[in-house]
């Protein structure tokens, strides 16, 4: 009898944990999930039609150089597309980083609702300016994008939206197990939004045109803004004593200026996690984990932003319809990859988190290698197979990093991780985009091979972490 109990109990505990988590989730509202779905939907629709509209704008703006072949001309305008995306990022990202901290400080003391609405308004404004630039009727100069980048950055941009949504979830779920399940559901909802967005373009764009699809996006954003304005609650988050300037006395009020100063001090103090003494190799693991994640974010950001432009070149010659098919398949493979990782790798095979992290980063390297070597669309689609595992990276990385620091340092650690991701976006524009433009005429897939090498270096770093962490029994 005792032997049977030793076999059955762990299984019963797993079932009981999932049931408890599901009951908790079922008892809550789904307002945030609706917003996440819509954000993903709108972001995907715009992302799918953007390459075609941007290339058309470049052709209207820059006269074709003489004596240039059709293939070389495509690369010429492709380079211009990347150049203007770089210009936008150079202005937008630094401003958005600072404003994100300001709005984050406000939301910590006054609730998430107003910053979320402001972030939604910034996305609407950004789309509106791009529509004026892309439209054949208005066709305003590209230089207007500089002003848009600054204004949208000041209002927080898409990053503020995602930050507020994630904060809503953290505020609602103090239990990490329940939060983990909810995060998985949210990731699935995000992928479903991307799937619906790409399918909308696939079925509608050829009937009404790429540009008119953006009216659907703008209308959807307005409807979601009104939904959030009227129905979304604004609970005041529980204060973290480490970040708080004041006591919990209800009579004491904190000003926005004090909240912002506190936020910047908090971020400054957060860097102390890197030189605090820790047991064993934990501090070395922290450096290695952040370094490997930074390299991976560099590669993943470039892969996501560049593919739509890259596949418009020979020999692929993708149009909006073909790109929407690819974007429809990708979220399906990502959902399948997350299910495979959680059910097979984690539950059935009980593979350690650091081992799965190593595999996911290496898989991104294989994905980029296949794209860089592709001479037809077939390998582009094949690259979706290794890419499917990449969705496991962030939740497992955060789980492992939380084992390296003290409980009262987790918030600081995640704050540094967010900043590192934004810095990776800047370096991506400054280095990888310039490498792409410089090598486009020589070997157009060179930057993908470089990205593959970067991913492999990052995976080797995590392989070292895995070996030592397993020896010291750190992580799950």
Residues 102, 257 contacting (CB under 8 angstroms): no
Output the 3-class SS for 167-233: HHHHHHCCCHHHHHHHHHHHHHHHHHHHHHHHHHHHHHHHHHCHHHHHHHHHHHHHHHHHHHHHHCC
Q: Which domains does the chain have, with CATH numbers?
A: 28-237 (1.20.1250.20), 239-264 (no CATH), 275-476 (1.20.1250.20)
**390 to 15, 208, 331, 373: CA distances (angstroms):** 27, 35, 11, 20
**431 to 108, 295, 302, 389, 425: CA distances (angstroms):** 35, 12, 10, 26, 10
Query: Rounded CA gap, 251 and 249, in Å?
Result: 5
Q: Tell me the pTM.
A: 0.81
Alpha helices in 311-352 (DSSP H): 320-340
Q: What is the DSSP letter of 110?
A: H
Query: Rounded CA gap, 86 and 69, in Å?
Result: 26
34 preceded by a cis bond (ω within 30 of 0): no
329 preceded by a cis bond (ω within 30 of 0): no
pLDDT tens by residue, the chain, 476 residues? 444 444 444 455 555 545 554 454 444 455 678 888 998 999 999 999 999 999 999 999 999 998 889 999 999 999 999 999 999 999 998 888 888 778 877 777 777 888 889 989 999 999 999 999 999 999 999 999 999 999 999 988 877 777 777 677 666 655 555 555 566 677 778 888 999 999 999 999 989 999 999 999 999 999 999 988 888 887 776 654 444 443 333 434 566 677 777 777 777 776 777 777 777 788 888 888 888 888 998 899 889 889 999 999 999 999 999 999 999 999 899 889 888 888 888 888 888 888 999 999 999 999 999 999 999 999 999 999 999 988 888 778 877 887 887 766 666 676 677 778 778 888 888 899 999 999 998 999 999 999 999 999 999 999 998 888 888 787 66
The tokens 């439209």 sit on which residue? 135
Query: Rounded CA gap, 176 and 199, in Å?
Result: 34
């Amino acid at each position: 009898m005792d032997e049977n109990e030793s076999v059955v109990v762990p299984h019963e505990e797993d079932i009981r944990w999932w049931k408890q988590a599901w009951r908790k989730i079922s008892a809550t509202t789904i307002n945030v999930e609706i917003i996440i779905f819509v954000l993903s939907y709108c972001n995907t629709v715009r992302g799918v039609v953007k390459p075609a509209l941007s290339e058309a704008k470049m052709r209207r703006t820059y006269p074709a150089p003489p004596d240039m072949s059709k293939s070389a001309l495509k690369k010429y305008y492709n380079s211009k597309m990347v150049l203007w995306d770089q210009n936008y990022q150079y202005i937008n990202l630094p401003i958005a980083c600072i404003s994100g901290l300001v709005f984050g400080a406000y939301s910590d003391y006054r609730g998430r609702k107003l910053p979320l609405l402001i972030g939604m308004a910034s996305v609407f404004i950004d789309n509106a300016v791009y529509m004026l630039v892309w439209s054949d009727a208005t066709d305003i100069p590209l230089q207007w994008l500089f002003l848009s980048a600054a204004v949208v950055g000041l209002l927080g941009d898409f990053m503020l939206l995602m930050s507020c949504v994630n904060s809503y979830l953290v505020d609602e779920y103090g239990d990490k197990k329940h939060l983990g399940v909810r995060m998985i559901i949210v990731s699935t909802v995000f992928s479903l939004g991307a799937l619906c967005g790409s399918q909308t373009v696939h079925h509608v764009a050829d009937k009404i045109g790429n540009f008119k699809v953006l009216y659907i996006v703008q209308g959807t954003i307005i409807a979601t803004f009104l939904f959030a304005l009227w129905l979304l609650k604004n609970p005041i988050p529980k204060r973290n004593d480490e970040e708080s300037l004041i006591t919990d006395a209800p009579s004491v009020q904190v000003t926005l200026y004090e909240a912002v100063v506190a936020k910047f001090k908090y971020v400054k103090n957060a860097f102390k996690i890197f030189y605090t003494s820790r047991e064993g190799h934990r501090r070395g693991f922290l450096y290695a984990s952040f370094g490997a994640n930074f390299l991976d974010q560099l590669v993943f950001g470039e892969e996501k932003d560049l593919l739509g432009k890259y596949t418009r070149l020979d020999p692929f010659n993708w149009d909006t319809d073909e790109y929407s098919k690819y974007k429809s398949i990708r979220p399906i493979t990502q959902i399948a990859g997350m299910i495979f990782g959680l059910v097979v790798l984690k539950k059935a095979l009980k593979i350690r988190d650091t081992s799965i992290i190593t595999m996911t980063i290496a898989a991104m390297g294989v994905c980029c290698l296949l794209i860089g070597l592709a001479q037809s669309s077939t390998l582009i689609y094949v690259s979706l197979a290794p890419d499917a595992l990449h969705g496991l990276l962030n939740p497992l990385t955060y789980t492992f990093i939380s084992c390296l620091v003290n409980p009262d340092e987790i918030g600081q650690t995640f704050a540094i991780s967010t900043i590192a991701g934004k810095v990776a976006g800047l370096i991506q524009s400054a280095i990888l985009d310039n490498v792409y433009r410089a090598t486009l005429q020589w070997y157009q897939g060179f930057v993908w091979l470089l990205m593959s090498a970067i991913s492999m270096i990052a995976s080797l770093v995590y392989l070292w972490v895995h070996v030592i962490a397993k020896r010291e029994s750190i992580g799950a």
